[in-house]
Amino acid sequence: MKTKHLDSKALEAFENQLKGELVTPDSDRYDMFRRVYNGMIDKKPALIVRCQNIADVLYSLEFGKIHNIPIAIRAGGHNAAGLGVADQSIVIDLSLMNGIQVDLKFNTVRVEAGCLLGDIDHALDPFGKAFPTGIFSTTGISGLTLGGGFGHLSRAYGLTIDSLLEADIVLADGRLITVDEHNFPDLFWAIQGGGGNFGIVTSYLFELHPAGKIQGGPMLWHMEEAKHIMPFYRDFILKAPKEIYCYFAFLTIPPVAIFPENLHLKKMCGLVWCNLGSTIKSNAALERFRSFKTPALDYVEIMPYVQLQSLFDALYPSGLQWYWKAAFLKDLSQEAISQNIIHANRLPTPHSTVHFYPVNGACHDKKNSDSAWGNRDANWSQVIVGVDPDPTNNPKITHWARSYWEAIHPYSLGGGYINFMMDEGQDQIKASYRDNYTRLQKIKQKYDPKNLFRINQNIKP
Ligand SMILES: Cc1cc2nc3c(=O)[nH]c(=O)nc-3n(C[C@H](O)[C@H](O)[C@H](O)COP(=O)(O)OP(=O)(O)OC[C@H]3O[C@@H](n4cnc5c(N)ncnc54)[C@H](O)[C@@H]3O)c2cc1C
């Protein structure tokens, strides 16, 4: 086994310490394990450690520190900017640490850091329970939670971090600690949106909520209707009851059998619903839209929550090229709507899309200063993604996403959701944390003064 710049004896001793697998650039599986979800990211780490347990995490951290190798932490590998991997780094890959323990007595679930959302949905489905996570089952719980997290249940139950009760973290100095609102409360505050800046989280304890059956799925209109549907949606969702959820999207209908052939490759706008609770209330909400403008496609039905959670996975397999831009919006003025429609009409490729996730309802039960996630006054988290299988289209999808973002930026709160951002530099990170940035910096200084954990949307100590 040979790895550039590293003493082979030290490497062998390190490998012997591990219960998990050490993957080096010489190994056959190196290319497979250095890959992340975003195919645009092509990084070549020095080492990848596929950790089996916390001891492996501790040994890896120690090895990285002794040999002065940058530490990258990878869980689900879904990060927009591919921040689970970096050139010449040691990747602490947590994906094999995916145990889940449901505790019905205390109405909680403990999940290890490598779990994907689909693992958690599967474990909780038999009990009709859930907590808010994201809308693709292939996303990692770790990166999502540390960035804040939101999805279909967020108007009812808040952000993912609002259900977080406790986390186990390995700190830069090698200590393993448990944080909650009483123990290390500063750190507990910081990991609720502050990303992977403060340590390596090895497990999370979440509070559970009722989920079970929901009324959900897509309801779409032709693009020409966007000028009517978008303001109607804005007015509706700002006042809708918490258990009613729908995000707004611009998209192109994929040419696959589940969609009517006459709609294939048509640019459209629409809503994806996930209504909890009473069907009467849910039907009333759906009927308001149906009677306002008859949808061109209406696939809303009663289904298990778990089914909705993986409904769109197959449309976005791992390895596509993704260029992301993000914004938080408080309002959607007529001018902002017009700008959005102009740019949505130019969706550059069939996979490219724009979503407006509502982050009102229960997300507004807390204040900006209650957690590191400093955008509680936003009503939507907008994501603009240029996506395509073909890398030669990267300039096209990148240019479109950037120019779209520039056009809507004046109507936004300034920053964006850190989990929807590429590597955009300090100004955009500061704009995203707003008034919480200085407090985050102080906590970073206390727990990671040398900025060991810097391969992330970095808060400089
Ligand atoms: C298709 C798709 C759909 C998405 N949908 C949603 C959505 O509905 N809602 C939403 O909120 N977000 C969504 N996201 C964004 C998602 O939250 C981020 O991509 C998130 O970073 C993914 O987490 P991960 O564990 O998969 O990522 P990784 O790439 O493994 O890690 C992401 C970042 O977190 C750090 N990190 C990961 N694990 C740890 C840990 N245990 N300790 C310390 N640091 C760690 C990494 O160093 C890295 O900086 C989506 C992303 C994609 C690609």
> Pocket of ligand 1, candidates 110, 144, 177, 381: which has the most ligand atoms within 8 Å of its Cβ, to mutate?
144
Q: How many CB atoms lie within 10 A of CB 323?
A: 25
What is the distance in A from the centroid of ligand 1 to the CA of 78?
5
Residue 444 — left, alpha, or beta (φ > 0 → left; ψ -120 to 50 → alpha)?
alpha
Cβ of 217 closer than 6 Å to ligand 1, yes or no, is no
Instruction: Could you please state the CATH topology (level 3) that the domain comprising 100-210 is classified under.
Output: 3.30.465
Q: Above 50 in pLDDT, residue 306?
A: yes
d(CA 279, CA 447): 48
Residue 354 — left, alpha, or beta (φ > 0 → left; ψ -120 to 50 → alpha)?
beta
Residue 150 — left, alpha, or beta (φ > 0 → left; ψ -120 to 50 → alpha)?
beta
Query: Any idea what the Cα angle at residue 377 is, between residues 373 and 380, rounded to 5°?
Result: 85
H or E stretch at 215: strand 213-222
Q: What is the pLDDT of residue 6?
A: 82
Measured in whole angstroms, the distance separating CA 268 from the mean position of its chain's CA atoms is 24
Domain boundaries along the sequence of the chain? 8-93, 100-210, 214-426
Cβ of 193 closer than 6 Å to ligand 1, yes or no, is no
If pLDDT is split at 50, 70 and 90, which confidence band does 317 have?
A: very high
> Pocket of ligand 1, candidates 33, 54, 58, 73: which has the most ligand atoms within 8 Å of its Cβ, to mutate?
73
Give the DSSP letter string of 341-363: HHHHTT--STT-EEEEEE--GGG
Q: Confirm whether 100-210 and 214-426 share one CATH topology.
A: no
What are the pLDDT digits (tens) for 149-190? 999 999 999 999 999 999 999 999 999 999 999 999 999 999
What is the distance in A from the centroid of ligand 1 to the CA of 160?
12
Report the chain's terminal Cα–Cα distance, integer Å.
37
CB contact at 8 A, 384 and 405: yes
Tell whether domain 8-93 is in CATH 3.30.428.10: no
Phi, psi of 194 (to 5 degrees): -80, 5
Reference 63, options 16, 11, 8, 26; nearest CA is 11
What is the distance in A from the centroid of ligand 1 to the CA of 195?
9
CB contact at 8 A, 303 and 337: no
What are the pLDDT digits (tens) for 196-226? 999 999 999 999 999 989 999 999 999 999 9
Going by alpha carbons, the residue nearest to atom 44 of ligand 1 is: 196
Which atom of ligand 1 has the smallest separation from the CA of 453? 47
Going by alpha carbons, the residue nearest to atom 37 of ligand 1 is: 143
What are the pLDDT digits (tens) for 26-77? 999 999 999 999 999 999 999 999 999 999 999 999 999 999 999 999 999 9
Going by alpha carbons, the residue nearest to atom 1 of ligand 1 is: 136
Cβ of 144 closer than 6 Å to ligand 1, yes or no, is yes
Cβ of 79 closer than 6 Å to ligand 1, yes or no, is yes
Q: How many CB atoms lie within 10 A of CB 141?
A: 29
Instruction: Could you please state the CATH topology (level 3) that the domain comprising 214-426 is classified under.
Output: Vanillyl-alcohol Oxidase; Chain A, domain 3 (3.40.462)
Reference 69, options 57, 56, 84, 87; nearest CA is 87
Q: Above 80 in pLDDT, residue 240?
A: yes
CB contact at 8 A, 135 and 171: no
